[in-house]
Chains A and B, each alone.
Chain A
Amino acid sequence: MKYDVVVVGGGPAGTVTGRFAAESGAKVLIVERRNEIGVPILCGEGVSRKIDEWGMLQGKRWIASNMEGARIFSPNGTMVKLSAEMAGNETGYVVYRDIFDQELARQAVKAGVKILMNTNAIGLLKEKDKIIGVKVRQFDDEFEIEADIVVGTDGVESKVGQWAGIDTRLDPKDLETCCQYTLTNIECKEAYCDFYLGNKIAPGGYVWVFPKGKDIANVGIGVLGNLSEAGMPKKLLDEFIENNPGLKNGTPIRFLAGAVPVAKPVETVRDNLILVGDSARQVDPITGGGLTHCLEAGKIAGETIGRAVEQQQFDKETLSSYEICWKEAFGKKLKRNYMVKEIFLGFDDKTLNMLADSLKDMKFDEISTFALVKALVLKHPTLLMKLRPLMKISTDA
């Protein structure tokens, strides 16, 4: 059976792309190697309320809790409080990612998408050099699925891009290596997503505590790959919990690992091929947040595919409107934040403490570059030198 589109990977990027392609009239098949959509969860489970505007999810079962904002703690414990609007992508809702993913899949199926579970893509199907589908394995059977467009939504470890000649390999300095507990029997007094920074706490990353209820939270860590060692994230997370009075009596009811690309975006379009989501490195390099991007990009990809199917044109040029549109939507932000990440990595704990001390009393509803500079000059003039490259980026942007 031939499809217009075969999507490799049934995460949010895949199901949203599939849904909007189907709604635009395309015949879509998603292949998913796991035996349950959304499981295992590989995520901190925080997402911006921006997703409300898109109306892609129905009901409220996927919401664990509503957050008022974020609190960032510097190495010496100085707190900077941000409202949800200021905190950006990772606060708003704390979600149950398994239910979240399954709800998106349900919407895709409602739009006419077919999903093949337990089916592992093992290569691209080609005619001479032209991509004409994928080869898959389902249990002991191997077979071919023909399609005009292959969509790679196969996550951080993407193979689809590599099979098409796009170099998606990550340098360890462009990967956050993560693990997380769901910790119960703790006290979450306030509805804030907490982030803990420090070169001893989480080198090149952070520890997060995202409350999912009054006595339960997703508590995790990300460490930058080139600063990590075998098993270091788990060791540091255990130490953090042990040393935190509010967490140390908690009991884990779930332990998971994760890997987050914090790289420059890659090429996302080839003849007959599109990449969306983590496979396309559509992740904010500062926060590691990717959910909003993959939903936004998925919608654009799906609509682009719909037009391509209508015109029966599947070449790179036709599909390029996807790349142009997602770069317009959030590509510039990702590029800028990659540069900011590089600068931040140079900050020692002392600098992070000074920065937090300068920002702790600011009201972030009236933030401006001028107000920021004023606060820094008044409190810690030496910071200005270190922040100069950041200022340059913000004026350029």
Chain B
Amino acid sequence: MGKPKALVNKNMCLACGGCISVCPQDALLMFGGKALVKEEKCISCAICIRICPIGAISGRDVTNEI
């Protein structure tokens, strides 16, 4: 069972860049004016989830998906 990977809610993201600046894996980038997680690089550390000032990033449980 894998830990949940980070997922940015595009409707909420205000593009502050905080999550990108703290990601230890360089797994986030700004894309089309919103933060985007590069899933293959994400190690599920949840640092970006905790840092988001407005709670726009959550954990997505990859095991629940086909």
Contacts and interface: CB of A to CB of B under 8 A. Distances in A.
Interface of A: 33-34, 40, 42, 120, 155-159, 162, 168-172, 175, 177-179, 223, 225, 228-234, 255-259, 261
B42 interface: no
Q: Which 3 A-B pairs have the closest CB atoms?
A: A231-B55, A259-B18, A157-B17
B27 to A, nearest CB: 11
Interface in B11-38: 14-18, 20-24, 26, 29-30, 33
B12 to A, nearest CB: 9
Interface of B: 14-18, 20-24, 26, 29-30, 33, 47, 49-55, 57-58
**Highest count of chain B CB atoms <10 Å: which of A155, A171, A230:** A230
B53 to A, nearest CB: 4
Contacts of A258: 16, 18, 53
A230 B57 CA distance: 8
Nearest to A42: B16
Given A33-B30, A172-B47, A157 B20 contact: yes
Nearest to B26: A162
A177 B52 contact: yes
Contact of B21 (A229, A231, A232, A261): A261
A257 B55 contact: no
B44 to A, nearest CB: 15
B57 A159 contact: no
**Highest count of chain A CB atoms <10 Å: which of B15, B16, B26, B58:** B16
Contacts, number: 92
B15 A40 contact: yes
A158 B52 CA distance: 17
Contact of B54 (A33, A170, A175, A234): A234
Nearest to B29: A159
A147 to B, nearest CB: 22
A225 B54 contact: no
A172 B18 CA distance: 9
A169 B55 contact: no
A179 B22 contact: no
Contact of A170 (B15, B22, B55): B22
B18 A169 contact: no
B1 to A, nearest CB: 22
A155 B50 CA distance: 21
15 contacts: A42-B17, A156-B21, A157-B30, A169-B24, A172-B22, A172-B50, A175-B21, A175-B51, A177-B53, A178-B16, A179-B53, A230-B52, A230-B57, A257-B15, A258-B16
A34 B22 contact: no
A175 B49 contact: no
A261 B21 CA distance: 9
